[in-house]
Amino acid sequence: MPLDDAVGGALGTLMAEVERLKRVEEQLRAENDHLLDAQRLLEENRDQYSDLFDLAPIAWLTLDEQGIIKNLNLAAMTLLGFGRGYLIGTPLAALLRSDDRRRFLDHLLASQQNELLSCEARLLPREGAPIPVRLSTRRTKGTNEGHAITLLDLREREAATAERKRLTAAEREARTANEAKDQFIAMLSHELRTPLTPVLAAASALAELEDLPEEIRHTLAIVQRNVTTEAQLIDDLLDITRIAHGKLRVAKVPVDAHRALGEALELLSPELASRKHELSLDLTAEHFWVEGDATRLQQVFWNLLRNSIKFTPPGGQIAVRTWNSGERLLAEVSDNGRGIDVETMTRLFRPFEQAFDDDAPSSVRGLGLGLPICRGILNEHGATIVASSQGRGRGSRFVIEIGTIDRPTLVPSAPPSTPPAPGRSVRILLVEDHEDTADIFERLLRRGGYEVQVANSVQSALAVSHEAFDVLLSDVGLADGSGHDLMRSLRKTRPVKGIALSGYGTEEDVRASKEAGFSAHITKPVNFGALLEAIASLSHRH
């Protein structure tokens, strides 16, 4: 080969190698740049991870194989109250309460399977009481072999649990106190009703005498009216208790609402006349039959009318009207009396709230039960009541809305106003341990033509029960037992017709009397006319 060709070939090869080396250099430079970028990114990620780790809201720690702290974040330092320099190199178990350390070491051992496990313990912070925490642990491998742990502060949970227990205990105490209050009200009503019975019976009986001077008759009417009012206050206390516990019961039958309204007006006519109010009636509703409890609906009308009479100055105007809207009956009672302000209107139907201001005379003050009772009764009828007023001194308006029904084919007639005259052969066994009540009942029954045998206890009644009698008239609460016990004992030997007398008048009390065998349950204070009517009815059937 010629020399020039050989030199040329070598030079070409050398140039090709130089070019290859340049490409390799460029590749190495690019790879170096890539490595530098990766290193920079790694450092940035490390710094970011460090920041995230340090600023995480949950306490984080890393431990080595022996459970010694290698690293921890700010939340962990804050929770424990120590700095990083003190905590790194400290066994975590040493920061736990002594009785939790064994459980924690067992927990670390169990986490060797690389499972996320949890346990609860109490940390001993630098200051303050031990802190309840939940430790969640996961095994780590590689260059950071050991354990990663989060600490969840459970103090809020324990505080919430303690508060829940406190509220539960308070609720239990309130329920117990409420039951005690209800029992007290029931007992109080019984104790108040018992002495009212002979007073009302005597006044009612004396008022029936034909040759009674008018002045005395007027005085007796005052006594009757005030004893009846006292009994109504007792009934109101019991009713508001029943309503609060959802125990108010209504016996629904076809009711003439206009008749219930008229009877309420009749009862209040003396008060209406004495205050010289002007009453206007506009009963234009064509459909006025409703399904409900006649006595309870009359009670609603009575409360609304009595409020208007009481809160309207003498000589004021009271209006009562009814009308229909579709299949609904609306009944309105309005007046031009004291009126109701906006603030009072918001709490008008709450028990024991008053609809008057502080300078109101005592004559218009009461217990604040009438309107809540009205709403409770109407709720049981699926009815509503709405109050409105333009303010103090501008009167008030109450509107009841209730569904109507078709007029029944057979309308029940009113009960007789006076009981049929008893025959002298009717014999009564009167069992009553209240001396005054027993005395006045015995005298009034004998004057009415009945033969009366009196006993003051279950045992004394059983001792004389061998003597023939037609009707048992017994108090429920007796010193040595109950009238229910007496009735059950008597019915074991023969059929007995009886009337229970009691200061307790709830639905449960009436049911208990019926279950014991009594045909009627009359609540004290006893209306003597109603008692005579019940006796006459039983003796007639007997």
pLDDT in tens, 468-505: 888 999 998 888 888 999 999 998 888 889 999 988 87
CATH annotation of 56-153: 3.30.450.20
Q: What's the CA gap between 529 and 537, in Å, rounded?
A: 12
Is the model's pLDDT at 244 over the cut of 80? Answer: no
User: For 152-163, b where at least 16 C-beta lie within 10 A, e where not — what string?
Assistant: ebbeeeeeeeee
Q: Looking at mean pLDDT, say which of 342-346, 347-351, 532-536 comes out highest.
A: 532-536
Rounded mean pLDDT, 277-301: 91
Q: What's the CA gap between 478 and 500, in Å, rounded?
A: 12
Token digits for 71? 């690293």
Q: How confident is the model at residue 386 (pLDDT cuts 50, 70, 90)?
A: very high
What are the domain boundaries of the chain? 1-41, 56-153, 172-233, 248-403, 427-541
CATH annotation of 248-403: 3.30.565.10
Rounded mean pLDDT, 83-98: 90
Q: Give pLDDT tens digits for 248-259.
A: 777 789 999 999
Q: Give pLDDT tens digits for 434-474.
A: 888 888 888 888 888 899 999 999 999 888 888 888 899 99
- Which residue type, as a one-letter code, is found at position 150? T
Lowest mean pLDDT among 289-303, 347-361, 508-522: 347-361
Q: What's the CA gap between 391 and 344, in Å, rounded?
A: 10
* Predicted local distance difference test score (pLDDT) of residue 216: 86
| Count of beta carbons in the 10 Å neighbourhood of residue 335 | 27
Residue 395, SS3? coil
Pick from 499, 541, 497, 491: nearest CA to 521: 499
Q: Which residues contact 104 (CB under 8 A, 6 or more apart)?
A: 67, 92, 93, 96, 119, 121, 135
* Predicted local distance difference test score (pLDDT) of residue 34: 72
Q: Considering the chain, what is the average pLDDT of its residues?
A: 82
- Which residue type, as a one-letter code, is found at position 9? G
| Contact in structure between 147 and 126 (CB atoms under 8 Å) | no
Q: What's the CA gap between 14 and 17, in Å, rounded?
A: 5
Q: Please give the backbone phi and psi of residue 118, each rounded to the nearest 5 degrees, phi first.
A: -130, 150
CATH architecture of the domain covering 427-541: 3-Layer(aba) Sandwich (3.40)
* Predicted local distance difference test score (pLDDT) of residue 417: 39
Is the model's pLDDT at 325 over the cut of 70? Answer: yes
Q: How confident is the model at residue 324 (pLDDT cuts 50, 70, 90)?
A: very high
Rounded mean pLDDT, 507-528: 86
* Predicted local distance difference test score (pLDDT) of residue 515: 92
Alpha helices in 208-256 (DSSP H): 214-244
